[in-house]
Structure 1
Amino acid sequence: MSDSSRTFVTMKSYQNQAQLLIKNYLLADPFIPYTSILVGLLACKVIYDLTQLFSSLHFKSFTGLSRAQKIEWNNRGMSTVHAVFIATMSLYFVYWSDLYADDRSASIVTFRGSPLSIFALGVSVGYFIADLGMILWFYPSLGGMEYVIHHSLSGISVAYAMFSGEGQLYTFMVLISEVTTPEINMRWFLDMAGLKKSSVYLINGMVIFLAWLVARILLFVYLFYHVYLHYDQVMQMHPFGFFLVFVVPSVLGVMNLMWFGKILRGLKKTLTKKQMMDSR
C-alpha cells in the first residue's frame, strides 16, 4: 500500500471515529441539552468576534465609536443572529411543524418535544447565559434592570422547557417575539451611523411598530387563548412549569406593553419631525 493510500485510510478512520463520537455522545438524547448550550455559548463568542472584524473592515463609523459603543455594537450583532435563528425555529415548530398540532392525539401538547426542539432551545439558553453575563459585567451600559429581568425570566423558562420537556409549545410562542430584535438593533446601528434623519430610519420605526404589535402584543393574546383552550393539559404540568406558563408570559407581556408605549411615542416624534421638515 502506498503512502497516499495509507494517509487516506488513516484520515477515513479518524473521520469515522469523529462521526461515531458525535452520534453516540454529543448528539445522543441525554447529551443534547448540554451540547446545545455549549454550541450556543461558542456561537455567541464567534459571532461577537466576527461582528467586530467585519465592522472594522467595512464600516467607517465603527472605528469612531467609543469602547463601550463598540462592545454594544458587537453585542447587538450577536443578538441579531440569535434572534434570526430562534425566531425561525420557533415559527417552524409553532406554525409549520406538526409536532404541536391539535389533530395529533398521540400525546398531551404540553409534554411534546423532539431532539431538534431541545437543541434549538439549548442554543437559546446558551445565548441568554452569554448575553446576561455581558449585561451584568458591563452594567448598566448594555441595559438596565428591565433587561436583567427579561433575560433571567427568559433563560429560566427556556432552560426548564428544554430539560423537563414541558411547555415547549408556549416557550416557542414567546420566542417568536424575537423577530423584533433585528429591527430594534438596526435602529441603533442607524443611529450610530448618523442616519437618524434618513427615510430608512423612519421606515425602520414603522416596521418595529408593526412587528411589535403582531409578535409581542397580539401573539401573547393568542398564547393565553391557547392556554385557556388547553387548560386541562396545562394543569397536568409540574407546579413550577404551570407557574412559568402563566407568570413569565404575563410579566413579559406587561414589559412589552410598556416598551410599546415608548415605541409609539418615538414613532410619533419621528413622524412629527418628518412633517416639519417636509413643510419647510
Structure 2
Amino acid sequence: MLDPFFPPEPFLQQLVTPLCNALHLYSLPLHIHEILAVFILYHVIFEYLSPLFSGFFLEKQYTGLSRESKLRWNMHCVSMVQSVGISLLALWVMAMDTERQSMNHEERMWGYTGSAGMVQAFATGYFLFDLTVMIRCLDVFGIGMLTHAASCIVTYTLGFRPVFNYYGCVFMLYEMSTPFLNIHWFFDKLGMTGTKAQLYNGIALVSVFFSCRLVWGAYSSFNIYRDVWNAIHFDASATRLSTNDSMMMYGRDRSLPMWLIIIYMGGHVILQLLNVFWLGKMIAAIRKRFTPEAQAERKQK
C-alpha cells in the first residue's frame, strides 16, 4: 500500500538521500517530510496551542500551576494528540494494507510498504520532538525520560534501513493505553482526585494497559523473536522467498548485524519488564486515591 500522505519535495528528498544512503537508511528520504511535519506540529502544540487554549478555557487551573507542572501539562496535551492519532493510524494501516498483511518472513524482516513507513515516520517525528524537550527541560523530566526518548528515536530511525517495517504498527498499539494515563493525570490537576470519573478511568487504564502492553506486547515480542531467530539462519545467497519486488526494493541489506539484534531485542526485554513494573505502580497509585484515609482527608479540605 502506498503512503497516503503527500510526497516529499524533490529538493528535500535529494538533500538527505546521500546521508541516508551512507547510514543505510534507504527508505528514510521517502518520509523525511513527514518526520519534520510531525515534529513541527507537536512543537507548536507544546509551545503555543496548549498554553493558549489551556489558559483560555481553564484559566484558574492552568495559570496557577508551577513552571514544572505547566511543562508537564503541555507535554500531556501533546501526548494525548500523539497517542490517539498514532493508535488510530496504526489500526487503519493494519486493516487496509493488504500488502503488509500478506508479508512472509523475509518481507516482515526487510520488506517495506509506504503506509507502514508513514506510521513509522509519524512515530519518529514525535520521538524527535520528545527528545528535544527532554534535553531542554532535563531538570523537570529527568535523565530517565531523556534515556527513554533517545532509545525510541534510535530504534525507530534504524527501522528505515528498512528492517522490522512490518512491526512498526504492531508496537505502536502500546499507545492505546496512554490516553487513559493522560486523563488520570489531568484529573489530579483539575481537582478531581478520588472522583468516580477518575475511578472508572483508572479501571480502563489498567485494563487497556494490561491488554495492549502485556498480553499483546508479549505475543508480538514472541513473533519478532521468532522472526529474528529465523533471520539469523536465513541464507541470503539462496533464492528469495519474497514474491513482491515492490516490497523488497529498499531492502538492500538482507542482513541482521549483531548490534542491531542487541538493540532491538534488548530493548524489547527491558520494555516488557518496565511494563510489568509500571502496571504495578499504576495499580498502587489508583488504589491510594481511593483508600478510606484518602477519601476522609479530601472531605476535610
TM-score w.r.t. structure 1 length? 0.80
* Partner Cα distance (1:200, 1:92) in 2: 29
Matched, 1:259 2:278: yes
Q: Does the residue aligned with 1:151 lie in a helix, a strand or coil?
A: helix
* Partner Cα distance (2:50, 2:36) in 1: 20
Could you tell which deviates more after superposition, 148-157 or 188-197? 148-157
Matched, 1:117 2:116: yes
Matches within 5 A, 1:209-220: 209-220=206-217
* Partner Cα distance (2:209, 2:218) in 1: 13
Q: CA RMSD in A?
A: 2.8
**Corresponding residue for 2:249?**
none
| Aligned AA (2:205) | I
Q: Which has the larger radius of gyration?
A: 1
The count of aligned residue pairs is 256
Could you tell which deviates more after superposition, 164-173 or 71-80? 164-173
State the identity %: 21
**By how many angstroms is 1:31 displaced?**
2.8
Q: Note the residue ranges of structure 2 that are not aligned, 5 or more in a row.
A: 1-5, 15-26, 235-254
Would you say the 8 A contact 1:174–1:249 is kept in 2?
no
**Corresponding residue for 1:134?**
133
Q: Does the residue aligned with 2:192 lie in a helix, a strand or coil?
A: coil
**Corresponding residue for 1:85?**
85
| Aligned AA (1:181) | T
Could you tell which deviates more after superposition, 171-180 or 193-202? 171-180
Could you tell which deviates more after superposition, 166-175 or 205-214? 166-175
**Corresponding residue for 1:55?**
54
Alignment deviations for residues 136-155 of structure 1 (CA, whole Å, 9 cap, x no partner):
322242x3333223222221
**Corresponding residue for 1:147?**
145
Would you say the 8 A contact 1:38–1:126 is kept in 2?
yes
Q: Note the residue ranges of structure 1 that are not aligned, 5 or more in a row.
A: 1-19
Matched, 1:160 2:179: no
Q: Which has the higher contact order (CA 8 A, sep 6+)?
A: 2
**By how many angstroms is 1:95 displaced?**
5.2
In proportion to residue count, which structure has more helix?
1
Alignment deviations for residues 42-73 of structure 1 (CA, whole Å, 9 cap, x no partner):
11122222122111111131122122222221
**Corresponding residue for 1:223?**
220
* Partner Cα distance (1:261, 1:220) in 2: 16
* Partner Cα distance (1:151, 1:90) in 2: 20
Matched, 1:208 2:213: no
TM-score w.r.t. structure 2 length? 0.75
